[in-house]
Chain A
């Protein structure tokens, strides 16, 4: 299933946040969205997920999701958004509870999601008993349980320490490549964008416009190889050159405000 974004503009009152955003996310493709702070990355993701309504513009889904998909556009939240009174398994089961599924099918989906995110030993733990990385795994399992067609991720690793982030990113990528769900990945982190994405959409400072779409031709599995490092470093430099002036101007805007 593809997702097509056509946002003419979006504003919070007088504040223009997004302008002329056109994006076509193809089935199985991962698009990272980067840009300076406050450029509207999370707003764009909210609009794509139907959680925010664009002031002017629309989002379309094209093609059919798989038959077992219960929620084609599925979010993974930066702050995990877990229900602290529910166990891991109960949190993962939450999105299934309003669907008419046989008890066996529900249990199968939950167990499968827990296994794939390596959480099967923690099914009965409460979120407070888990580390940040484990909590985000629960967030990922909860997203996988509905067999999504497109994953929408709002800086899913930013609340984690650097080591946990790297570990989880590799697991995340493995999962993703197996699932072949499409994804939109909002991040500040070039390293994450270069590791995960097929394309990187660079937004300008507020109001966010598409400044450039950078394509990464190296397959994700080969990006840790030595041979890929020079090209990835070049891409990183290019991204930084695209964003540096915008970021520093956005920073000055915050100081002047």
Chain B
């Protein structure tokens, strides 16, 4: 029996006239991990797709079934075609990304730390960033010849600008009180940059890496479609021209896996370096 301190024993809430229960209304709006649902959704879509092709609802020439794509993937792996094309694309992405990111970090940090560099660099970055970098490829071929250089430079230039902007924003948003704290202990400029500014800007820089990796993947495919014999982009173009849609989609799957893999590597780096957040 409930006890009321004022009136003694009371009847259950529902029996007393005029008394209403307060209903819970605070649920929802909380993201909850549902790993099983993700897999279920993925498998369901694949199953539907497979069924649609098997039941001839869809012409396999235009959209081959998942099993055909799987077979194509197996064939490409066994023949070595997959690795030949993938390794060249990875080399181009790696070179372009390292060059573009390295330069982007230097310029972004410079713009974040120096008002002069910012004044000079910001208008230029703002003007050049929106240009689709693939549009520069013909010009780069003219300047650098037909070879690896124009493709790598296209990727580097595409990666450079998001890195500059992310790094600049990261450095610019370092809490000023942390810098003042360093100064109040007479820390040298280099110490403030290495021990305060860069670690503080790291979340922003890594977010920029995520964007620049996606950009690099996009640009490598586009550049290889325009002027390359090997590489995932060239492979996709050839498969498309020959109407080998199973090979074409196998190439798309490889790109997706590559993107996921690179994203996973970045997530690992973030977990290792940003565990303090």
Which A residues fall within an 8 A CB radius of B? 49-51, 71, 73-75, 77, 79, 81, 83-86, 94-95, 97-98, 126-128, 146
- Is B48 interfacial (CB-CB < 8 Å)? no
Q: For B184, what are the chain A residues with a Cβ–Cβ distance below 8 Å? A: 49-51, 71, 73-75
Output the residue of B181, B186, B188, B195 with the most chain A CB within 10 A. B181
Select B196's contact among A74, A83, A98, A126, beta carbons within 8 Å. Answer: A83
Please, could you name 12 A-B residue pairs with CB atoms under 8 Å apart, sorted by A?
A: A49-B184, A50-B184, A77-B177, A81-B175, A83-B199, A94-B185, A94-B187, A95-B187, A97-B191, A98-B187, A126-B276, A127-B276
Q: Is the CB of A84 within 8 A of B276?
A: yes
Q: Is the CB of A71 within 8 A of B185?
A: yes
Interface residues in B166-214 by Cβ distance below 8 A to A read 175, 177-178, 180-188, 191, 195-196, 199-200
Q: How far does the Cβ of A103 sit from chain B's closest Cβ, in whole Å?
A: 18
Select A85's contact among B175, B181, B182, B199, beta carbons within 8 Å. Answer: B199
Q: For A126, what are the chain B residues with a Cβ–Cβ distance below 8 Å? A: 276
Q: Is the CB of A81 within 8 A of B177?
A: yes
Interface residues in B193-241 by Cβ distance below 8 A to A read 195-196, 199-200
Determine the residue in chain A with the shortest Cβ distance to B188.
A98
Which B residues fall within an 8 A CB radius of A? 175, 177-178, 180-188, 191, 195-196, 199-200, 274, 276-277
Q: For B199, what are the chain A residues with a Cβ–Cβ distance below 8 Å? A: 83, 85
Q: For B182, what are the chain A residues with a Cβ–Cβ distance below 8 Å? A: 94
Determine the residue in chain B with the shortest Cβ distance to A71.
B185
Q: How far does the Cβ of A256 sit from chain B's closest Cβ, in whole Å?
A: 29
Q: Is the CB of A75 within 8 A of B188?
A: no
Q: Is the CB of A81 within 8 A of B276?
A: no
Measured in the bound complex, the distance between the Cα atoms of B186 and A71 in whole Å is 8
Select A95's contact among B180, B185, B196, beta carbons within 8 Å. Answer: B185
Measured in the bound complex, the distance between the Cα atoms of B195 and A97 in whole Å is 10
Q: How far does the Cβ of A27 sit from chain B's closest Cβ, in whole Å?
A: 20
Q: How far does the Cβ of A42 sit from chain B's closest Cβ, in whole Å?
A: 11
> Given known contacts A74-B184, A81-B175, A81-B180, what 15 new A-B pairs fall within 8 Å (CB)?
A49-B184, A71-B185, A71-B186, A75-B181, A75-B184, A77-B177, A77-B181, A81-B181, A83-B195, A83-B199, A94-B182, A95-B187, A98-B186, A98-B191, A126-B276
Measured in the bound complex, the distance between the Cα atoms of B161 and A160 in whole Å is 43
Q: For B178, what are the chain A residues with a Cβ–Cβ distance below 8 Å? A: 81, 83
Q: For B191, what are the chain A residues with a Cβ–Cβ distance below 8 Å? A: 97-98
Measured in the bound complex, the distance between the Cα atoms of B181 and A126 in whole Å is 18
Measured in the bound complex, the distance between the Cα atoms of B195 and A81 in whole Å is 13
Q: How far does the Cβ of A75 sit from chain B's closest Cβ, in whole Å?
A: 4
Q: How far does the Cβ of B27 sit from chain A's closest Cβ, in whole Å?
A: 27
Q: Is the CB of A51 within 8 A of B180?
A: yes
Given A85-B199, A97-B195, A98-B187: A79 in contact with B177 (beta carbons within 8 A): yes
Given A71-B186, A94-B185, A95-B185: A85 in contact with B276 (beta carbons within 8 A): yes
Closest 9 CB pairs of A and B: A81-B181, A95-B185, A85-B276, A75-B184, A81-B177, A84-B276, A85-B199, A98-B191, A126-B276
Q: How far does the Cβ of B23 sit from chain A's closest Cβ, in whole Å?
A: 33
